[in-house]
Amino acid sequence: MALGGASAVVGAGVLLAPDTSTVPDEGPYYWHGTQVGTDAYAGPFDVLLNKGFATAQWPQSSRDIFDYPYGWSATVQSITNPGRAMSNSGGVWKVLGTELFPFSDSGWKSWAWAPNYYGHLLEGGIAARRLAEWYEGQGVSHPALMAGLTTWAAAFINEAYENPGGVVYAGVTMDLLVFDVGGILLFNNDGLSRFFAQNLGASIWPTQASLMVPDAALWNNSHHLVLKIPLGFTDRFSVLVKSGIGFQAGLTYHRDDDLDVSLGVGQESKKRFIHPETLLETADFGWAGGLWIDRGGSLLASVLLDPNTERFIALNVYPGVVPGLGGVGLWATISGRGKPAIGFTARRTLGLGAGFGY
């Protein structure tokens, strides 16, 4: 039913979505100003809530973001006293072998370098570039600087949220000072941004983060970097690779009307641990999948199946897609316990929505 509903809605609204399937050499590369889909949903709250609280999706995590014991002090100390953070985490070489290079002997679940490169460096860098293009489209002065500060603030919030115990350790140091800063600086370069957009089909696909009424708990938030890698021998299909708090892979089917339909399946994290002695980060994973419909990288609708989180199944239809609703986007979720929630977003709310449910 959800899949059929998504297809019907997108089919009705697709004519409203301009064709941006060819990324111009001069840009913009990730935000096209179409006023449809994730283009219409974009804004600073999109990044702060979807990226900053990405791990709030874990079942054991609290969504009460306004009443939460953030590890602010430990996060600050981890970046202002990196020597202490390195020492707490087993020394420089131990840290480099887990955070920067694939030298860990603790199994693939402790491969911190993988999400560091794909999530913090690439996803964070492309998210910053997309937001810079959005800021520029709104006439904001110094858009690249504003986007860099917003995206780094989201990363800082994420680290403090993940560390309520207040542990000073090198994972935070490497994330915030090396990978997050590195990604923001790298994708300020037009050539690199153009390459990922044109050659690898890179896009950022968030869900529609919303604050629930009346308790202001955060719901329906997630942040994904998507690549559509050409196969070479056909123009009809591409390989889909999606990251978030895990990895999924699949295929994208390119229709004649420039509408792309993607299917993916993979492993999403459902629990995270910090070893009390070694401070090594590990995670548990479970299977998840999804269907995404986009045009030119602007996501129009999605159906997500993720038994690992409280969002067991989720339908997102983005602003500008449903005829008659103008710039309103809609979402609905059902938890693993069978409890529903619904919400909406709008073009002018800068990436912030409202929801109702449990």
Cis peptide before 28 (omega within 30 of 0): yes
pLDDT category, 276, cuts 50, 70, 90?
low
CA-wise closest residue to 170 among 74, 248, 27, 72: 74
pLDDT category, 105, cuts 50, 70, 90?
low
Rounded Cα distance between 276 and 120, Å, is 24
pLDDT of residue 13: 45
Average pLDDT, the chain: 88
pLDDT of residue 8: 44
Q: What's the domain range around 123? A: 2-357
Nearest-5° angle of CA 266, CA 283, CA 46? 70
Q: State the sign of the Cα–Cα–Cα–Cα dihedral 182, 199, 99, 102.
A: negative
pLDDT tens per residue across span 218-266: 999 999 999 999 998 999 999 999 998 888 999 999 999 999 999 999 9
Tell the residue number behind the tokens 């420039």, with chain if given. Answer: 258
pLDDT of residue 199: 95
User: What pTM value is reported for the model?
Assistant: 0.89
Give residue 176's region: left, alpha or beta (phi > 0; psi -120 to 50).
alpha
CA-wise closest residue to 33 among 42, 22, 21: 42
pLDDT category, 317, cuts 50, 70, 90?
very high
pLDDT tens per residue across span 138-154: 999 999 999 999 999 99
pLDDT of residue 329: 97
User: How many Å separate Cα 232 from the centre of its chain?
Assistant: 28
Query: Mean pLDDT highest for which of 85-94, 180-189, 300-309?
Result: 180-189
| Cα distances (Å, whole numbers) of residue 166 to 69, 72, 155, 276 | 9, 8, 16, 12
pLDDT tens per residue across span 59-76: 778 999 999 999 999 999
Burial of 326 (0-12, 13-18, 19+ CB in 10 A): exposed
Helix 72-80 to helix 143-162 angle (10° resolution) is: 120
Q: Do 209 and 58 touch, CB atoms closer than 8 A?
A: no
Q: State the sign of the Cα–Cα–Cα–Cα dihedral 285, 184, 89, 163.
A: negative
**Higher pLDDT among residues 3 and 208, named by residue:** 208
Q: Do 249 and 264 touch, CB atoms closer than 8 A?
A: yes
Overall number of domains in the chain: 1
CA-wise closest residue to 330 among 338, 339, 321: 321
